[in-house]
């Protein structure tokens, strides 16, 4: 085939950082990586190109070196110009990665050490970020278009990220009110230790009360190093956990904020730090890439329902089909004690 370029789509969305020639460490790898993500980011809002059209990385030689962009190409022998241009005119090039549902392919948080993400991981994350809730509803509604186009174009990755498939690593979320009664805190600690010995990984938030009881129990069970402890700020309450806004990919943090806002009645009235507390709740339920929901939540709330600060996390869990075990409810408490052989 004699491929002919009909449109240059650039190297990255207009509002995103990108590798700078002569400045960014590892420029060559970064600059080849970013255009590689533009095809799926273009497919998400536009749909896959028709046969005999393709997206291809193109080298652009410059006095200071070579940089790469994404080109839309066609073979005139089998695709007439009119058909090619009809698709080209429909292309919606997103202004940011998250507009297409994607995390950033290259993280420039530390400009001296940019981090590259595998393409399949970013597509999987986009499928997770844009997926519907358990009622089949997409929010915002535009996610329905993004998700459907990505599923159609990347069926194999979509099957691997299906939330009905259970991950090899078993995660659970341990949370609850700061005012959880002492007797319940003891049970939480014992439950976390027992679950650690059964190879379950804890997700929690390092708050006083329930969170700390679960964290202590996981340590006693020998799983303290693998626990995922999500913080609203680096070193919050003395924790050295790496799961915080300064280390999590900014695109994923913004996606988690969107989910958190959807499940809070007065989000815009909250102070930034309180919003960060609620945002970290999303990761406690959905995991570091927002695509591996916990198998279940163990918690305690004063009324046995999705109330208080813990309530927001429980509402998210309900939306994503995560089982909730609330130790305020006698039947749930008895079930946990029986299943884990707690005294």
Same domain, 144 and 275: no
166 confidence band (pLDDT: 50, 70, 90):
very low
What pTM did the predictor assign? 0.59
Q: Which two tokens stand for residue 57?
A: 């990385």
In the prediction, which pLDDT does 270 show? Answer: 93
313 confidence band (pLDDT: 50, 70, 90):
very high
Q: Is residue 30 part of a domain?
A: yes
17 confidence band (pLDDT: 50, 70, 90):
confident
Q: Is residue 148 part of a domain?
A: yes
What CATH number has the domain bearing residue 236? 3.40.50
What residues have CB less than 8 Å from 208, skipping those under 6 apart? 178, 237
Same domain, 100 and 59: yes
Instruction: Tell me how many domains the chain contains.
Output: 2
pLDDT at 332 over 80: yes
In the prediction, which pLDDT does 164 show? Answer: 54
User: Domain ends where: 111, 135, 160?
Assistant: 160
Same domain, 134 and 186: no
Per-residue pLDDT of 44-87, as tens digits, reads: 888 877 777 777 788 888 777 788 888 888 877 766 667 777 87
Give the domain extent around 145: 4-160
User: Mean per-residue pLDDT for 283-309?
Assistant: 88
Same domain, 70 and 199: no
User: Mean per-residue pLDDT for 194-215?
Assistant: 94
Q: Is residue 301 part of a domain?
A: yes
pLDDT at 206 over 60: yes
Per-residue pLDDT of 83-130, as tens digits, reads: 777 877 888 778 877 778 777 788 777 777 787 777 777 888 788 778
Q: How far apart are the first and last CA of the chain?
A: 72
| C-alpha–C-alpha distance, residues 35 and 44, integer Å | 15
What residues have CB less than 8 Å from 11, skipping those under 6 apart? 18, 31, 34, 35, 38, 67, 68, 69, 70
Same domain, 193 and 322: yes
User: Domain ends where: 114, 138, 160?
Assistant: 160
Q: Using the CB atoms, write b or e for 242-266: b if 16+ within 10 Å.
A: ebbbeebbbbbbebbbbbbeebbee
Same domain, 217 and 78: no
Q: Is residue 45 part of a domain?
A: yes
Q: What is the gyration radius of the CA atoms in the chain, in angstroms?
A: 23
Same domain, 112 and 217: no
| C-alpha–C-alpha distance, residues 158 and 151, integer Å | 6
User: Mean per-residue pLDDT for 334-338?
Assistant: 87
User: Domain ends where: 160, 179, 197?
Assistant: 160
Strand partners, 204: 229
What kind and span of H or E run contains 211? helix 210-220
Same domain, 149 and 258: no
Contact 163, 320 (CB under 8 A): yes
Same domain, 135 and 174: no
Higher pLDDT, 143 or 187: 187
| C-alpha–C-alpha distance, residues 17 and 19, integer Å | 7
DSSP state for residue 337 in the 8-state scheme: H
What residues have CB less than 8 Å from 78, skipping those under 6 apart? 1, 51, 52
């Amino acid at each position: 085939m004699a491929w002919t370029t009909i449109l240059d789509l650039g190297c990255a969305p207009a509002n995103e950082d990108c590798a700078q020639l002569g400045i960014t460490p590892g420029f060559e790898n970064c600059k080849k990586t970013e255009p590689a993500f533009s095809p799926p980011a273009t497919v998400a809002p536009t749909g896959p190109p028709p046969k005999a059209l393709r997206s291809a990385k193109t080298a652009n030689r410059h006095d200071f070196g070579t940089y790469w962009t994404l080109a839309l190409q066609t073979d005139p022998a089998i695709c007439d110009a009119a058909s090619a241009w009809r698709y080209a005119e429909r292309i919606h090039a997103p202004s940011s990665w998250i507009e297409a549902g994607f995390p950033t392919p290259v993280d420039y948080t530390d400009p001296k050490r940019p981090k590259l993400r595998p393409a399949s991981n970013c597509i999987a994350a986009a499928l997770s970020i844009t997926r519907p809730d358990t009622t089949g509803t997409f929010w915002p509604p535009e996610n329905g278009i993004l998700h459907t186009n990505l599923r159609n174009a990347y069926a194999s990755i979509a099957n691997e990220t299906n939330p009905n498939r259970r991950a090899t690593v078993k995660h659970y979320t341990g949370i609850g009110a700061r005012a959880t009664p002492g007797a319940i805190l003891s049970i939480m600690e014992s439950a976390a230790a027992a679950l650690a010995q059964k190879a379950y990984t804890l997700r929690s938030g390092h708050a006083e009360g329930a969170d700390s009881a679960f964290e202590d129990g996981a340590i006693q069970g020998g799983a303290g190093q693998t626990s995922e402890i999500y913080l609203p700020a680096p070193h919050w309450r003395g924790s050295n956990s790496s799961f915080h806004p300064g280390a999590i990919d900014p695109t994923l943090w913004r996606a988690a904020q969107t989910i958190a806002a959807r499940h809070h009645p007065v989000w815009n009235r909250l102070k930034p730090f309180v919003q960060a507390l609620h945002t970290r709740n999303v990761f406690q339920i959905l995991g570091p890439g927002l695509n591996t929901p916990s198998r279940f939540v163990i918690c305690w709330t004063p009324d046995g329902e999705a109330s208080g600060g813990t309530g927001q996390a429980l509402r998210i869990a309900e939306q994503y089909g995560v089982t909730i075990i609330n130790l305020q409810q006698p039947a749930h408490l008895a079930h946990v004690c029986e299943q884990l052989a707690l005294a």
